[in-house]
Chains A and B, each alone.
Chain A
Amino acid sequence: MPAFLEVQNLVKSFGSNTVVKGVNFAFDKGEFISLLGPSGCGKTTILRMIAGFERPTSGAIRVDGDDITHLKPNQRKLGMVFQAYALFPNMTVGENIAFGLKIAGMPADQRRARVDEMLKLIGLPGFEKRYPYEMSGGQQQRVALARAIAPKPRLLLLDEPLSALDAKIRVSLREEIRAIQRDLGITTVFVTHDQEEAMSISDRIVVMNAGNIEQLGAAHDIYNRPATRFVATFVGQLNTLPAGLLPGATGERAIRPELISLAPRPETDLTLTGTIADLHFLGSVQRLRVDVGGTLLNIDTFNNQTKPLQRGDTVTLHLAQKDLLTLGA
């Protein structure tokens, strides 16, 4: 099956500053893709090139076999959701959602039916007469989503759509976006700098740094088999074990906090001894900071301890050789 969204050798320079340095990826129809990376790494620039708001310096973008690289944004049949909602303040919710349908020349009765359908989909039935300023940020962003998908675009593009929202709504809305996306089977590109957000909703993640792709894969692969030092440290928490800390290890190794335990497990074959320097009780998880010969290691353990741990306690850490990561460049 040919790829549905294909980006080839995409380069973008602003003057002498090259911010996207030859990016390639290909995704299937219906996939939920995240572009993940620190601020300024070029995620938005890539998304804006797909949307047509920036002209690529070189490279090609294809959607469903069509080369759209040089089309104007209004010819591409895409949908986009912006960080700042960008609802039209002079229009009601219903008029906002109907905007793209009206531009496309859909008759009024069909438009009304589609608006109703969209409002049900985003869980805001009966809101069509409201104005944006009468709604909460989360509601506005849901309307922006409905507005983007109402004309049945070929791709849905989202640029940090949750960043302007409070933490609680951020989590519930991202689940809602994912559920709607799955329902409609719409191919989606989601830009975020939040690795937890990317891992929780994506089929595949493009991890970027300084204009390059560092790794492309499912959340599970990226977390457990990071391809580069950057990915290992940017995605999730990581402990670095300097050479010499582990018996027999020649170079530096790294390990995730949840793969170190206080009790032996069937697969563990290494032990370290240290003292608890700090501990945080987070409910279901307890986060310990253990001093092993001057190196501080973060350890996440489930809350199943029979006797409470104390700062200063001496503990034995159990880990498995196979869980150790060797960080490359």
Chain B
Amino acid sequence: MKSQKFWAWLVFALGAAYFIIPLAATFEFSLRMRRGEYSFDAYASVFSDPQFAASFTYSVIVGLFTIVVGILVVVPAVYFVRLRMPWLRPFMEFVTLLPLVIPALVLVYGYIRLYGSSSLIPFTGSVFGTNILLTCAYVTLAMPYMYRAVDNGMRTIDIGTLTEAAQIMGANQLQIIGKIILPNILVAILSGAFLTFAIVIGEFTIASLLNRPAFGPYLVGIGTNRAYEPAALAIISFIITWGAMGMINVLGRFAPRTSARTD
């Protein structure tokens, strides 16, 4: 018993070290901007750069739009497939996995070919059009996570019977999705939303190829031009991402509770 526990702890410690040592080293390095003593100068330098605020704000806004569009696409799709076309589910599973299999580079080159300024629908011809295209690309990138989060949420409630219970009391489809389905899977949706947010904040390939001033390209640009700021930025984006993940955990406590009892 004792030795088993020892080995379990050892494996855990090795795994944790794998993540923590580089992180700690990065953090330590980010504090060494001032010669001879530790300081937060690198962080001050990052925060005082107007580019930082601008690119971060841009990515947050794109992230919010991505979440809204993702929810509007995924929730009704998952709901109707589960309710009316359950035989389509394996196909949905497959399609929503594609963004994990197809490199973002392929996706964005496809976009540039399809929506380039010389094409029939020249999305990339204007800044606004390119922003829309970027949002659509992010909806696609986040699809595997959003789909699974929402699908899991709907698995925990009996959407068929709840739908019928609402219908017989006079509710229409919109009222059912808005008043019954959405509130009951809100926690699942939010966890999908935080994952989406984490993806959008760090994404580089698509934003850079579409030439948008997003946070990802800014990070990379800083990384090639400065010494201490990249380390500070790495720590900051790590905190943002893990903050988003932590929120998912906190929200899990508010998930709807099952009430199946026989007494």
Contacts and interface: CB of A to CB of B under 8 A. Distances in A.
Interface of A: 51-53, 72-80, 82, 84-90, 99-100, 103-104, 131-133, 135-138, 140, 147-148, 151, 157, 164-166, 169
Interface in B175-225: 175, 179-180, 183-184
A88 B179 CA distance: 10
A87 B171 contact: no
B259 A132 contact: yes
Given A103-B175, A147-B169, A133 B164 contact: no
Contact of B180 (A51, A75, A90, A151): A90
A82 B261 contact: no
A82 B167 contact: no
Contacts of B164: 51, 53, 73, 80, 82, 86
Given A53-B164, A86-B164, 4 more contacts: A80-B168, A84-B158, A99-B169, A140-B259
B165 A88 contact: yes
Most buried by B among A51, A80, A135: A80
A77 B257 CA distance: 30
Contacts of A132: 259
Contacts of B257: 89, 131, 133
Nearest to B173: A74
A87 B263 contact: no
B262 interface: yes
Nearest to A79: B168
7 contacts: A86-B165, A88-B166, A89-B157, A89-B184, A90-B256, A137-B260, A151-B169
Which 6 A-B pairs give the minimum distances between C-beta atoms?
A100-B169, A137-B261, A133-B257, A133-B259, A132-B259, A90-B183
Nearest to A90: B183
B22 interface: no
Contacts of A79: 168-169
Interface string B77-111: 00000000000000000000000000000000000
Given A87-B259, A89-B157, A133-B257, A80 B175 contact: no
Contacts of B183: 90
Contacts of B184: 88-90
Contact of A74 (B162, B168, B179): B168
Contacts of B263: 136-138, 165-166, 169
B48 interface: no
B258 interface: yes
Given A84-B158, A86-B158, A89-B157, A74 B167 contact: yes
B165 A74 contact: no
A166 B258 contact: no
Contacts of A148: 168-169
Interface in B104-153: none
Contacts of A72: 167
Contacts of B158: 84, 86
Contact of A103 (B162, B169, B258, B262): B169
A32 B156 CA distance: 35
